[in-house]
Amino acid sequence: MSEKAPSPPYELYYWPTIQGRGELVRLALEDVGAPYVDVARIQGANAIASVLAGEAGGGRHFAVPVLKAGDVVLGQTACILDFLATRHEQLLPDQEPATRHRALELQLTVADLVAEAHDTHHPIAVGAYFEEQKEESKKRAAAFLKERMPKFLGFFESVLRDNEASKKEHLVGAGFSYVDLSAFQVLSGLAYAFPNAFAAYRKEIPLLIALRDRVASRPRVAAYLGSTRRVPFSEDGIFRHYPELDAE
């Protein structure tokens, strides 16, 4: 019997110089050891325009990240991660509908948090520079750090605390999932963007901090974090460090 031909690498379309939302997909692909091509890092950002226009298949897409897996072409981070979990059981070992939907629910909540973190430095217009909306950003960031970040992180801390099935170590079901990877990324991003505020609040979320550290120590994740494939946080991505927006 002939061996089954290996599947072609995934094609990930995202901005080549930033982590952004594409990093949530990269972390999942890296953790399962799936071959993938970061297309725009090879072909340039023009590749993004073509995939959004539907030239790679799957119809038009509103924004990247977009993932191509053979004939399947998907946009939206949560949708991509849900799809990958059906192909790589390491990302969600329990594929029962209730567990799968719970993972998707939590991932969409992560997406809400990511969007609100982004809006701290662009509260008025995405197309305008930070310097053009700095005073509004200060107000938005102050409210985010006082009210919204604690609400989101407190919620995820409670989810961990309630999850006796995993001994309070994972967010979904009895074991590791892609939602844990996304929580790691968000915690890392918040610590970069708001180091003072995050340091002051971290004592309130010991289970989340322990989860972050466990994810960082996963062999493939650790190898990725130490590689050149992991571009650093910067002031061009979602999580940006502007000292005037951080707590004193």
Given a contact cutoff of 8 angstroms between Cβ atoms, the answer to whether 108 and 78 are in contact is yes
The predicted pLDDT at position 5 comes to: 46
- For the chain, where are the E strands, in sequence order? 10-13, 36-38, 66-69, 72-75
The predicted pLDDT at position 86 comes to: 97
The predicted pLDDT at position 14 comes to: 98
Name the band, by pLDDT with cuts 50, 70 and 90, for residue 6: low
Name the band, by pLDDT with cuts 50, 70 and 90, for residue 3: very low
- Closest of 114, 9, 21, 19 to residue 76, by C-alpha: 21
The model's pLDDT over 23-61, given as tens digits with 9 standing for 90+, comes to 999 999 999 999 999 999 999 989 999 999 999 999 999
Report the pLDDT averaged over residues 178-202: 98
Burial of 1 (0-12, 13-18, 19+ CB in 10 A): exposed
Name the band, by pLDDT with cuts 50, 70 and 90, for residue 2: very low
- Enter the pTM of the model: 0.95
> Domains, the chain, ranges and CATH?
93-218 (1.20.1050.10)
The model's pLDDT over 66-92, given as tens digits with 9 standing for 90+, comes to 999 999 999 999 999 999 999 999 999
Report the pLDDT averaged over residues 180-188: 98
